[in-house]
């Protein structure tokens, strides 16, 4: 890229806002800037009858799986009794594990399994499944606490291993509507001719971002997005299906994202020089 890019950080809530701030600090010397542009708002469902009913039977489960900090927070609001010590907890990543310890203090009495930070950064559900195998945890009954919509990998893999799996929604995702200030910041960068490079942390975020850009006044054509950074190869696959060929997989930290931008720049330079097919 000839001009320093703007990275759109689409990860929602606190982790996304923090990542954008760290990226601005880390990229200041090279001119790289970052804008927090959450793909989703996460709406808790603590009063949902299905969630309430599932949590009332927590002691019946050998393992409760939390897919995100948002799932933990909504569950904590919905809990009416202390967490049963006999029900182990699985957390998809370090942030989810920290949310368990912060939001459900009595859960410290239960066994908590989570992948290492390095494994979680590159794997999500896959990393948690590996951590459960390493912990020799073979639960008979499992409750998966998740969003209304999401991947079925965890539930399917646990069921294939012989567990009886129930899933319950603790929150829902709604496409975030950027405010006028966010749109003004994005248009100012675009008007300078600087490339816009989204960082996507979920496959669902691909279509959410497309919807956001199409709803702008005026809309920002998806075709202007030439390169994207993403957290997992499955997201790269979703991007390829939407016409984005240059999808670089990287971790959700400032150093990895900056390295991903350098890789995009190198690829573009090789294309211009004719050493790669365009």
Sequence spans of domains, the chain: 6-39+176-273, 43-173
Kindly state the tokens that stand for 26: 């880390």
In this structure, the strands spanning 164-175 and 40-44 are: antiparallel
Angle formed at CA 109 by CA 104 and CA 112, multiple of 5 degrees: 75
Q: What is the pLDDT of residue 270?
A: 58
Query: What is the mean pLDDT of each successive set of 10 residues along the chain, which is 278 residues long?
Result: 87 92 92 95 94 96 94 95 94 90 92 73 69 86 90 83 93 95 93 94 94 92 93 92 91 94 80 52
Q: What is the pLDDT of residue 122?
A: 47
pTM: 0.82
**Class of 6-39+176-273 in CATH:** alpha beta
**Topology match between the domains 6-39+176-273 and 43-173:** yes
d(CA 205, CA 193): 25
Q: What is the pLDDT of residue 278?
A: 40
Q: What is the pLDDT of residue 2?
A: 63
Four-residue CA torsion sign, 27, 32, 37, 39: negative
- Render pLDDT for 50-84 as a digit per residue (tens, 0 to 9): 999 999 999 999 999 999 999 999 999 999 999 99
Q: What is the pLDDT of residue 55?
A: 96
Sorted by sequence, the CB contacts under 8 Å of residue 64 that are 6+ apart come out as: 58, 87, 88, 89, 90, 142, 143, 144, 145
> 43-173: which CATH topology?
Rossmann fold (3.40.50)
Sorted by sequence, the CB contacts under 8 Å of residue 83 that are 6+ apart come out as: 58, 104, 106, 107, 109, 110
Residue the block writes with tokens 């960068």: 189
Q: What are phi and psi of 38, to 5 degrees?
A: -60, 135
């Amino acid at each position: 890229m000839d001009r320093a890019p703007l990275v759109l950080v689409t990860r929602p809530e606190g982790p996304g806002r923090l990542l954008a701030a760290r990226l601005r600090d880390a990229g200041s010397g090279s001119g790289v800037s970052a804008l927090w542009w959450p793909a989703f708002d996460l709406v808790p469902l603590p009063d949902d009858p299905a969630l309430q009913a599932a949590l009332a039977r927590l002691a019946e489960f050998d393992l409760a799986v939390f897919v995100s900090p948002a799932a933990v927070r909504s569950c904590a609001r919905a809990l009416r009794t202390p967490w049963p010590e006999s029900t182990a907890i699985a957390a998809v990543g370090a942030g989810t594990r920290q949310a368990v310890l912060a939001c459900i203090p009595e859960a410290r009495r239960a066994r908590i399994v989570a992948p290492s930070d390095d494994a979680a950064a590159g794997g999500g559900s896959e990393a948690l499944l590996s951590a459960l195998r390493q912990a020799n945890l073979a639960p008979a009954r499992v409750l998966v606490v998740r969003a209304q919509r999401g991947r079925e990998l965890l539930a399917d893999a646990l069921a294939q291993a012989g567990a009886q799996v129930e899933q319950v929604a603790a929150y829902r995702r709604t496409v975030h509507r950027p405010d006028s200030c966010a749109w003004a910041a994005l248009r100012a960068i675009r008007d300078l001719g600087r490339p816009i490079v989204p960082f996507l942390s979920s496959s669902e975020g691909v279509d959410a971002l497309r919807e956001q850009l199409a709803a702008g006044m005026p809309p920002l054509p998806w075709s202007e997005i030439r390169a994207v950074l993403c957290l997992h190869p499955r997201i790269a696959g979703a991007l390829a299906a939407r016409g984005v060929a240059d999808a670089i997989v990287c971790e959700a930290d400032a150093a990895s994202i900056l390295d991903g931008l350098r890789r995009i720049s190198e690829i573009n330079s090789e294309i211009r020089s004719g050493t790669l097919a365009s």
